[in-house]
Amino acid sequence: MRTIRPLPVILGCLLAGLFVLAASAAPAAAPVEGIDYVVIADGQPYAPLAGKVEVVEVFGYWCPHCAQFQPELKAWARTLPADVRFTYVPAVFTAGDNFARAYFAAEHFGVLARTHDAMYQAIHADGLLPMNPSVSELAAYYGERGIDPARASAYMQGPEVEAKLEHARQFALRSGVEGTPTLIIDGRYRITAATHEDGLRIARQLIDQRRAARRAPTQP
């Protein structure tokens, strides 16, 4: 038997539905400086590229929050326009951060696309790597993934990586990074949102602002 609902209940349901639709259709509030993001004084991109807006995630493989964030971040990054470049930058808070060395080695040997997510899995889920691994342990891990361990070890301890570590460290210091994960837009804005979801929303809004500014005609 069909249930007959009283008219006030039906009207209430309709109004509630309209309220939800209106709320979902309303534009997201503009990000607020000092709450949603910080303007970086004299900020510079990590790796400037003409015509591209840079989006950086400062991360640590040892960071459980970065591991949790990675699937959502990766999916979001795929939606970015062609004139936006997404870049991972390992956090270098200590001189001997071997995970940062490992990141640069994977990048150098062209295997980052298949090792970046796997590294989080190896540390936080599978227990294949300790939280503070040695270079030899990381070289052995990469050896199981097709990189010669001796070459990986030599590169991780070589001058090229030392220079990259210092560049990443200076970028984080200049940008005021205090923890991970941290999103930085075009070297100018550091996201300070309370949640990952809000962080991605605010990042996209600031990206759109930067893209619009780049397209705007130069005043004579």
Distance CA 151, CA 137 (A): 13
Residues belonging to the chain: 220
Among candidates 109, 136, 133, 111, which has minimal Cα distance to 123? 133
Domain harbouring 210, CATH code: 3.40.30.10
Q: Does residue 117 lie within any of the structural domains?
A: yes
120 is in which domain, residue-wise?
30-215
Q: What is the pLDDT of residues 68-82, one digit of tens each?
A: 999 999 999 999 999
Q: Does residue 118 lie within any of the structural domains?
A: yes
Q: What is the pLDDT of residues 120-155, one digit of tens each?
A: 999 999 999 999 999 999 999 999 999 999 999 999
Reported confidence tier of residue 3, pLDDT bands at 50, 70, 90: very low
Reported confidence tier of residue 24, pLDDT bands at 50, 70, 90: very low
Give the model's pLDDT for residue 96: 73
Q: Does residue 83 lie within any of the structural domains?
A: yes
Q: Does residue 173 lie within any of the structural domains?
A: yes
Distance CA 37, CA 199 (A): 9
Q: Does residue 22 lie within any of the structural domains?
A: no
Backbone φ and ψ for 55, nearest 5 degrees, come out as -120, 125
Structural domain total, the chain: 1
